[in-house]
Structure 1
Amino acid sequence: MTDAIRCEAPAEGRRVILFGAFDRHNFGDLLLARCAAAGGSAGCVFAGLVARDLSEFGGFRTVPLAAAIERYGNDEADFVHVGGEVLTTTAWEASVMLQRAEDVPRILAVHDYSDTARDEWAAACLGTARRIPYVVAKDDLPRAWRTHFRGVGGVAFDALQAADRHEVLRALAGATTLAVRDRSTFEALRRAGLDADLAPDPAIKTPALLGDLIRQRARQGEVASLQGRMQSWMAVQLAAEWGDDATLEGVAQLLRAEAEARGSGIVLFRAGLAPWHDDLETLGRLADRLAARVPVALFESAHVLDICALLAGASTYVGTSLHGWIVAHAFGVPARSLVHGPSDKAACYLDTWCSVPRQWRTTGESVPLFPRTVSG
């Protein structure tokens, strides 16, 4: 626990407790934790829903929120919700994504038959009755703690059940600071009677905060090996939900045309190992559709800094990961986001911060892609 809860003096006399979904492997969440820690939060506590050690992937050891409260409940503290799409992640979704991938089919078979069954299992799994568990109200924390929301998202807020929306609004209303990262979330909260600040995702500061570490990682391991094998590469990522044959064929057509136009190879990587994120099987099937026309490599590392180095050194990025786009764009790499439609979180983010014409394309039978190209 001493590695997870750091014991240095709190910043400016207050303990800093970073809370978020960095208790599971997702590139964006791990990166946001690193950016928050690098941004002056010396001596911070990394808290999540469960105890995890993701240091091998460039993350941190997290402690359950209850443990942080028990240890630091008498301290003055700033409790910071560290970004991501936390305003709409339900307890059911959070609990499934915290499981081992091989256990998920059994969990779905046993519990995914009714809202009540899902809610009861999630509450038992997480040890909390919060319906949106990565959102915590000030009233549910020690009296001397202040709550903050930094660059959070919630593009599906209006689609939440009424009880879920009420829980989120209660937490947001008591926050000392509240900043959301996209206009869709901003407008949804305003309609609900809350004023929030609108600010870009904190990961846009990745080059400034983590640039030296990223350049160091680029000189070793897989990225260094790629530099010896390919003159240039497109960094490509695809969520597992895009893994049906029709969609993969459409994406392969898009990538082949882009790679041939640029004279680049293609490097396929995973932006998340947690359930309902990415998997090698999907990328392998995509590679099979590409290999006959362009050089293709599967990037094995899931270390957050290796992924950043891969993106920073790419000729372009194409993928479904919002933070893949944000990091590539931050390093001046042309980036294209693949989304199902204009209500996806990546589309909402780009609509907020980038003036890019919409280019609808259809692949396969009826699978809409929503590619946007923004040069850094």
Structure 2
Amino acid sequence: MTSATRQAAPANGRRLILFGAFDRHNFGDLLLARCAAAGARSEIVFVGLAARDLHAADGFRTLALADAIAAYGNEDADFVHVGGELLTTTAWEAAVMLQPPADVPRIVALHDRNADARAAWAQSVLGTARRIPYVVAREALPARWRTHFRAVGGVAFDALTAAERNEVLGALQGATTLGVRDSTTLNALRHAGLAPDLQPDPAAATSGLFRTTIRQRGRGGEIAALHARLRSWIAVQLGAEWGDDATLDRVARSLLSASDARDGGIALFRAGLAPWHDDRDTLQRLADRLGANAPLAILESPRVLDICALLAGAHAYVGTSLHGWIVANAFGVPARCLVRSAADKAARYTDTWCKVPRQWRTPDDEPLFPPEISG
């Protein structure tokens, strides 16, 4: 980093450094960065595992961690781990999700069956030997920096290897503040001897933070065109892992029934363009099944605020994206997460914060959508 790109020293004496998975396209992670930055009173630096510029998706320009340390290591700073399942994202997962999607099949074919090869490749990509790379111990940072964990998740913490758990616990023990977003992570860390706070996901504040901006976004571009085309819509998103033919057939049948009952349309969108998130082909195959039987639109925009406007303007949301549910819920839109089991992160989060279940499991003998969505 050159001195010309380095930000001036913060007026209040402590720089705010936000660290998270907003170095790749995922609706939730990019939104978390915006929520964490909103109302900040100090200079902000956005840091990830890689240097990226996601302004085109309503994200931010991120510095790689090593560059941030080189630029700001002599300053007082608060290094904040921002939301998401940071406590259990492995180096292999993180490294793959930073790759161009077209390269992933080749990478997986080369390394997926060999744990040592995966670890070596991930270390070469990320430039760190940390097993859980989005978790950084205070001792690994400049002496004048403090570490914080803000509403982070780790529902699969107990499934990590002993080495991975020890690495995470060592970093958490040195943190100035520690907040987690679900009771499963809370209980796992309490069992390990820590005392985290339970905090809602920062995206739950989306309506209060950005309502005016989101309304403005809804009056232009693709969202305005969608309003002109559809009188009302169910916002629908599916992760790539839900893309098998039987599941798509079932989702399509349920969507057509729900759309007919509400005399409305269906708006499909992707919540993540990074590898192992959402797949355009899955969306198109679902659209093909819906055919001409319901008013239909596909939101092509990857922009975070466009997706927020789509959700805020919907009469219902159904999808596998937890942050789709969080944002819809924030705007009072009836919403359900589709989950495979009670162990899914969405199930654990919604079970933590809702008095009645807000996710919808899908055994074959139950309807796919609950009454408030389907009728």
Q: Does 1:12 align with 2:12?
A: yes
Question: What runs of 5+ residues in structure 1 fail to find an aligned partner?
Answer: none
Name the SS for the 1:179 alignment partner.
strand
TM-score, normalised via structure 2 length? 0.95
What is the distance in 1 between the residues matched to 2:122 and 2:150?
A: 26
Q: Does 1:97 align with 2:121?
A: no
What is the distance in 2 between the residues matched to 1:237 and 1:307?
A: 11
- Report the counterpart of residue 70 of structure 2 in structure 1: 70
Aligned-partner residue type, residue 18 of structure 1: L
- Report the counterpart of residue 319 of structure 2 in structure 1: 319
Equivalent residues in 2 for 1:16-165, closer than 5 Å: 16-165=16-165
Whether the 8 Å CA contact 1:17–1:78 is kept in 2: the answer is yes
Against the structure 1 CA distance between its residues 2 and 38, is the aligned structure 2 distance closer, same or farther, given a 3 Å change threshold? Answer: farther
Against the structure 1 CA distance between its residues 318 and 360, is the aligned structure 2 distance closer, same or farther, given a 3 Å change threshold? Answer: closer
Deviations 1:34-89 (A, max 9, x none): 11111315420000001111100000111100000011111010000010111000
Name the SS for the 2:87 alignment partner.
helix
Aligned-partner residue type, residue 149 of structure 1: F
- Report the counterpart of residue 362 of structure 1 in structure 2: 363
User: 1:210: how far off?
Assistant: 1.6
Whether the 8 Å CA contact 1:6–1:43 is kept in 2: the answer is no
Whether the 8 Å CA contact 2:35–2:203 is kept in 1: the answer is yes
User: 1:257: how far off?
Assistant: 2.2
Aligned-partner residue type, residue 62 of structure 2: T
User: 1:370: how far off?
Assistant: 7.7
In percent, how many aligned pairs have the same letter? 66
- Report the counterpart of residue 197 of structure 2 in structure 1: 197
User: 1:9: how far off?
Assistant: 4.5
Aligned-partner residue type, residue 111 of structure 1: H
Against the structure 1 CA distance between its residues 104 and 219, is the aligned structure 2 distance closer, same or farther, given a 3 Å change threshold? Answer: same
Whether the 8 Å CA contact 2:340–2:362 is kept in 1: the answer is no
Name the SS for the 1:338 alignment partner.
strand
Name the SS for the 2:339 alignment partner.
coil
What is the distance in 2 between the residues matched to 1:303 and 1:215?
A: 14
Name the SS for the 1:40 alignment partner.
coil
What is the distance in 1 between the residues matched to 2:137 and 2:372?
A: 37
How many residue pairs get aligned? The number is 372
What is the distance in 2 between the residues matched to 1:116 and 1:4?
A: 41
User: 1:211: how far off?
Assistant: 1.7
Whether the 8 Å CA contact 2:182–2:198 is kept in 1: the answer is yes
- Report the counterpart of residue 348 of structure 1 in structure 2: 348
What is the distance in 2 between the residues matched to 1:193 and 1:285?
A: 48
Name the SS for the 1:337 alignment partner.
strand
User: 1:374: how far off?
Assistant: 8.0
What is the distance in 2 between the residues matched to 1:64 and 1:369?
A: 46
Aligned-partner residue type, residue 362 of structure 1: P
User: 1:362: how far off?
Assistant: 2.5
Q: Which moved more, 1:348-357 or 1:53-62?
A: 348-357
User: 1:371: how far off?
Assistant: 5.8
What is the distance in 2 between the residues matched to 1:47 and 1:167?
A: 20
Name the SS for the 2:356 alignment partner.
coil
- Report the counterpart of residue 301 of structure 1 in structure 2: 301
What is the distance in 2 between the residues matched to 1:344 and 1:11?
A: 43
TM-score, normalised via structure 1 length? 0.94
User: 1:289: how far off?
Assistant: 1.4
- Report the counterpart of residue 272 of structure 1 in structure 2: 272
What is the distance in 1 between the residues matched to 2:308 and 2:72?
A: 33
User: 1:207: how far off?
Assistant: 1.3
